[in-house]
Chain A
Amino acid sequence: MRIMIRTIGEWFDRRLQLAVPVREMAEHPVPRNTASWWYVFGSAALTVFMLQIVTGILLALVYVPSGAEAWSSLQALNHGVALGWFIRGMHGWGSNFMVAIVLIHMVQVFLFGAHKFPRELTWIIGVFLLLMTLGMAFSGQVLRFDQDAYWGLGIGASIASRVPILGPSIVRLMLGGPIIAGATLSRFFALHVFVIPGVLIGFVCLHLLMVLKLGINEWPMPGRIVRRATYEAEYHALTKKEGAPFVPYAVWKDMFFAAFIILAVAACALYFGPFGPTGQPDPTIIQTVPKPDYFFLWLYALLSLLPPSLETPVLLIGPVVVIAGLLLLPFLSGEGEKSWKRRPIAVLTVSLIAITLGTFTHLAGFTPWSPHMNAWSGDPVPDRYVHNTTALERQGALVFQVKQCRNCHSLGDTGGQRGPALDSVAVRLTQDQLIRQVIQGGGNMPAYGKNLSPAETTALVAFLQTLHPKGQAPARDASRDLALSDENQAGRNP
């Protein structure tokens, strides 16, 4: 048996001639201290990518990339086809894992100084791999053709339209027509299934080839400086003289981690299930709150928090600056210290970016900037705010609810957070200021002058004036009191 396998193997290898190069590749020497758990993320990203290809092909067996049928074919996958829900879950969770692992890999590479000479091009290709991974994540979200996908495309089109001069043409090119419709889905399908994966596979091969040719980055030692003139000789010493063969010395950790990641993706798919689809992509159903997938939530938050005048410049110039910065990084710091222990600015930059993105993502989880569309009819006015109040003040509480003030202002921690909470508004604003604010708006509040009768305004302000904590007096305009008392006195003594 063994002889037969050997004979067959030799027959093939005589024609393919791959045994020697494959063995050389597998056994290429690596610096001993790179056999570390910190070095497993690159191979893990590749593992998840392969998993995505397999599950993606499986989904394509059932999925129909048609505006009319995509949504129902996803329903069929979820409910009609045996284990369709699991494959969808694997693909969806695989996508989240892939973005996360690629980001972790990038941070690790950066903090270990692996982008420095002579691995600049490996880093640059890696930046493109990150962009393509994000492109896959976005186009994949579009293929899950539901309400979020539909309105997400609208957001994409609105952003693209802001490009000077070319904007409208870019929108038509992106949508494949005048509106978000069947042609839009078809072209995102082509992008997600042919164009981006094709380029991605090519770039992954280049990326891997360079890791093999240039060697894996050695463990950074504080004080070991990278110099173009001497680096290659130093690396040669680390690998050829003191190194160990990649297989089996280092590979086992990659294998363990790869298996762990596959199991983790499967566990998430099993436990949490597939993502959506949410409601049908029917543009006439406008009772929807579209939200992007996890890895674009930070952008969603940023778009809400930027001042309007800064938005277009930031949207159009920001990505160019960020991508250019990433691409130029190895040229700006191609030599010098590799160890993160001697690169405080690098560590601070990574921390700052991570905290910023984390904060934005966290905020996008509860969207304090969005009005709560149902707060006016759903959230009750807390008892204590209407206890012992006059008829006028109660009428004001009613106006407060009916005029949807609650959608943006909370009382007793329920209601919208777009505007400030009003539990103690009477301490902050005097009666005159309240009237002015209600009627004229300002500071991001609409003016309600045209929508409130004088009687409603009076009642509303009377209610708002009762909103102050016990023991804290409501704000008052001392000069007005004085003026009024003068008037009274003047009235009494003509």
Chain B
Amino acid sequence: MATKPALAPSADATISRRGFFMKLGIVFNALAASAVAVPIVGFLFSSITRGRANGYLSWVPLGQVSEFPEGETRLATFQNPYVMPTDGKTADTACWVRRVAGEQFQVFAVNCAHLGCPVRWFPQSGLFMCPCHGGAYYRDGSRASGPPERGLFEYPYKVENGLVTIQAGELPTPGAAIAELNGEKPPCAS
């Protein structure tokens, strides 16, 4: 019984040498953990932080103006500007190019504004139709029917020296349409 009191909670507030070193050990480990956590978190979220600075977007050429007949809508493909060696075919992206008249274009993402399935163009009825959940869009990309809440996503384009280029590089989604990816605020955010 004489040895027991050492284990019992002591009344005085002084801490023992061992207790002090244990606490110091915990503090030391916490410091080490947070020091390592910074690069770990930085690595883990690097795909987000790069996107913040719009590091993904750039202007990519689609083809000569003459490749797109006036009044028609054609499928064009381009390689995503941000490529990793393991991307393979997935680095390629398709888009629908509508040459309205002259140098006036509309370039739509193939991704349905509902859930991203690839829409197909039907020139006869002038509609884009989605095979997944039945969304349909008119030739100008506006919503015709089905579950989408908006029209097709449109890439910003410019025509320089007869070459059609679009600003692309990120998958357009209902929560981050191309306009917002380009830094424009969505209408509801203003």
Q: Which residues of A contact B (CB under 8 A)?
A: 66-69, 150-151, 154-155, 157-163, 167-169, 171-173, 175-186, 280-284, 286-290, 300, 303-304, 306, 308-309, 311, 369-371, 373, 376, 402-405, 407-408, 418, 441, 444-448, 450-451
Contact = CB atoms under 8 A, between A and B. Distances in A.
A306 B147 contact: yes
Interface of B is mostly: loop
Contacts of A69: 86, 88
Contacts of A163: 175
Contact of A186 (B86, B127, B180): B86
A441 B86 CA distance: 46
Contact of A173 (B48, B89, B131, B180): B48
A171 B176 contact: yes
Interface string B123-142: 01111011111101011000
Contacts of B47: 172-173, 175-178, 183
B86 A67 contact: yes
B146 A448 contact: no
Contact of A161 (B48, B138, B173): B173
Given A67-B90, A280-B89, A286-B110, A158 B145 contact: no
Interface string B67-108: 000000001010010111111111111100000000000000
9 contacts: A282-B92, A283-B118, A373-B120, A373-B129, A408-B134, A441-B144, A446-B138, A446-B144, A447-B144
Given A177-B84, A308-B147, A403-B125, A151 B117 contact: yes
B171 A371 contact: no
A155 B132 contact: yes
A404 B126 CA distance: 10
A168 B147 contact: no
B124 A286 contact: no
A283 B173 CA distance: 15
A168 B177 CA distance: 9
B133 A370 contact: yes
Contacts of A304: 132-134, 147
A158 B114 contact: yes
Contacts of B90: 67, 150, 179-182, 184, 281-283
A340 B159 CA distance: 70
Contacts of B118: 151, 283, 286, 288
Contacts of B116: 151, 154-155, 157-158
Contacts of A155: 115-117, 132
Given A179-B91, A183-B86, A308-B147, 9 more contacts: A66-B88, A68-B89, A158-B114, A282-B89, A300-B133, A303-B115, A311-B147, A311-B149, A371-B136
B169 interface: yes
A371 B134 contact: yes
